[in-house]
A and B are shown apart, each in its own frame.
Chain A
Amino acid sequence: MTVFAAVNVEAIVIFTIVLSITLGITYWASKRASSAVGFYAAGRQITGAQNGLAISGDYLSAASFLGIAGLIYVYGFDGFLYSIGFLVAFLTVMFLLAERMRNSGKYTIADVLSFRLRERPARVAAALGTLAVVAFYLIAQMVGAGVLIQALVGIDFTPAVILTGIFMLCYVIFGGMVATTWVQIVKAVLLMAGILVMSVFVLGKVGFNPIELFNRANENKGPESTFSLGPGTFLPEPIDTVSLGLALVLGTAGLPHILMRFFTVPNAKAARSSVVWAMFLIGFFYLLTTFIGFGARAFLGEKGVEAAGTGGNLAAPNLATYLGGGEGTFGGDLFLAVIAGVAFATILAVVAGLVLSASGAVAHDIWSSIVRKGKESDREEVVVARIAAFGIGLIAIAVAVIGGSGLNVSFMVGLAFAVAASANFPALLLALTWRRFNTVGAVTGVLCGVISAIGLVIVSPKVWPGADSETGSPIGWTLANPGIVSIPLGFIGCWLGTVLSKEHGTEHTFHELYVRSETGLGAEQA
């Protein structure tokens, strides 16, 4: 296959264009990122529509684009089922958290907890939850980036990871949230345009009749194919599917890099409208993904499965080559290069958002509020945030390079969602709604959520003794996704810690957080 061979010249040109645009943005943004509110929250000057685009850009990772399309290509319906949870999750964000976050927070999710709880333990707990989510998500994205760039452009894994990491750090360190936001907006526009053009090409080949596309896809499965128009091929265990679904629907409302986006808009009204924008864009995107996945099945057929790689990740790029005229033609190479460029922009936007939210947890929560106890200057906070971003980025690059392309990252994104749903989401929701909730409850809840989610993944059959093992986990644990156990444990931890401790006084501070989060009275100004 050409995609595995030498360096693809068209792809290099497209990559250079993408990088030039994003570096231009970073240069322009660098002047606006000198204050803390500029660095973390883009001066709260992002409009609802812009933030909706940026949320889509922050949320739709390469796993959504190439991953879901590939899963639909290989497994059919189950791939689509995966994406439904990612979309429905935005109702949780909208109904329970978006406006309240904007009204009561400043830069990080810890701000909301420490508003009414004892500051130091609350911030440490929230920072732990944030860093755990970011660690798993970021490493999965970095390894994924290396594998994809290697396959699509011909650059080796290690330089590909380092290249991605350097650009990610450039955006965050020099351009802060302003650059990160605009990189995410550019990426969202590119991604939407790319998938729309591909969908039109695919539908054009079947007379713009989606039913005909499904028929053709179904005819093109081989005798031993995993592809099905019905469920059960990729997710054979119903209880695992439920567990995964729960983690996706509640986990999005605990993802620090998504919640952080609500601090960038001027008020709660804009936060609300940005979720609706994001819902439309993300819904539209996942709908079109089915045309890509079924299109790949209809036109590449069973014989294309091997070339599509693990999980069918290269199904979309291979389909692009086919739609452009086939391998070796100018149109085919160009279309492939465009889709590769879109995938690259996709990765960059997501990792930049992740690093920025982690730098907030380290610099704003741990350094400024705990080490310096709020005595440092605005300028010092930004410097520390940049240093933190640099350190976090370096660690992520190092882990990805040392772990290498063989690192099993398939469970990591699911784990990130499980930790977010089990640790961050219960603590945030209860801090905003439960009068009695206290610091001990928050700390035990976050600890229960983080430890149970990670622990259950470690003993899950995919990880211990390993993905290829036939025997399964030595302690007999069969659940691959921890959500169905760890999410209730997170809530129980919050509740138990609260009722068992003698801590009082948090009811009193609840009045302020309650009124402020619901009305916006006294919220951070634009």
Chain B
Amino acid sequence: MATPTAPRPGEPADAGSSEVPQYDWEALEHTPEFQELIRKKKRFVLPATIFFLSYYMAFILLAGYAKSFMASSVYEGLTVGYVLALSQFVMVLVLGIMYLRFSNSEYDPLRQRVIDMAQRGTAREETPAAGTSGADR
């Protein structure tokens, strides 16, 4: 990815926030592109996270409290429990691939726009000065 040159080349320790930032990070945070990236990401990641945690916990709770149901047979030696366990594998792969797709098609282009803007230095002009826009604290 064509990100700008690192602000701290060859420095042994990560000095982090103690350095003067190379970009106007606060202005970048408030650009519509960045806000759209966060909104779009949240729209998938938040429900997906709630879903997979609930689906997994439901499986664990069934194994804990509905033992005979989980042990009942779907077809001969294949039990309900084993089938539900397999469905967890399917869930992991489906959600994983969905995230990969959304990242490539939606999140990455938005990221690139934020990066381009930072490199051109345009974010500074579009938004009010630092401090006034931080009302959401």
Chain A residues packing against B (C-beta within 8 Å): 36, 77-78, 80-81, 84-85, 87-88, 90-92, 94-96, 106, 111, 114-116, 119, 210-218, 228-232, 235, 237-239, 241-242, 245-246, 249, 266-269, 272-273, 275-276, 279-280, 283, 286-287, 290, 364, 368-369, 373-374, 376-378, 381, 435-436, 507-509, 511-516, 518-525
Contact = CB atoms under 8 A, between A and B. Distances in A.
Nearest to B86: A287
A88 B52 contact: yes
Contact of B67 (A215, A231, A436): A231
A194 B20 CA distance: 53
B129 to A, nearest CB: 13
Interface string B16-39: 111001110110110000100110
Size category, B interface: 35 or more
B82 A229 contact: yes
Interface of B: 1, 3-7, 10-18, 21-23, 25-26, 28-29, 34, 37-38, 41, 45, 48-49, 52-53, 56-57, 59-61, 63-65, 67-68, 70-73, 75-79, 81-82, 85-86, 88-89, 91-93, 95-97, 99-100, 103, 108, 111, 114-115, 118, 134, 136-137
Given A91-B48, A525-B6, 4 more contacts: A81-B63, A90-B96, A287-B89, A376-B12
Contacts of A119: 16, 18
A95 B56 contact: no
Contacts of A87: 88-89, 92
B113 to A, nearest CB: 9
Contacts of A114: 14, 16
Nearest to A369: B13
A256 B11 CA distance: 23
A464 B92 CA distance: 37
Given A214-B82, A521-B118, A272 B100 contact: yes
Contact of B12 (A77, A214, A279, A378): A378
Nearest to A270: B1
B85 A511 contact: no
A474 to B, nearest CB: 26
A115 B85 CA distance: 40
A518 B38 contact: yes
A233 to B, nearest CB: 9
B49 to A, nearest CB: 5
Nearest to A378: B12
Given A230-B67, A519-B114, A523-B3, A85 B56 contact: yes
Contacts of B52: 88, 91
Contact of B13 (A92, A218, A374): A374
A210 B86 CA distance: 13
30 contacts: A78-B63, A80-B82, A85-B56, A95-B45, A95-B49, A210-B78, A228-B71, A230-B71, A230-B72, A232-B67, A235-B63, A239-B64, A241-B64, A267-B3, A275-B96, A276-B96, A364-B13, A368-B12, A368-B13, A376-B12, A509-B16, A511-B29, A512-B21, A514-B29, A515-B29, A518-B41, A518-B111, A521-B23, A521-B28, A525-B6
Given A81-B85, A211-B76, A245 B60 contact: yes
B71 A214 contact: no
B93 A283 contact: yes
A255 B14 CA distance: 21
Nearest to A231: B63
Given A84-B88, A91-B96, A228-B71, A116 B17 contact: yes
Contact of B48 (A84, A95, A239, A269): A95
Contact of B22 (A249, A269, A522): A522
Contacts of B96: 90-91, 94, 275-276, 279
B99 A95 contact: yes
A276 B17 contact: no
A188 B115 CA distance: 36
Contacts of B11: 374
A105 to B, nearest CB: 8
Nearest to B19: A512
Contacts of B136: 435
B12 A381 contact: yes
A283 B118 CA distance: 40
B99 A94 contact: yes
Given A230-B68, A242-B64, A519-B37, A509 B3 contact: no
Contacts of B1: 266-269, 520
Nearest to A216: B77
Contacts of A272: 99-100, 103
A91 to B, nearest CB: 5
Contacts of B4: 521-522
Contacts of B108: 269
Contacts of B85: 77, 80-81, 84
A90 B92 contact: yes
A244 to B, nearest CB: 8
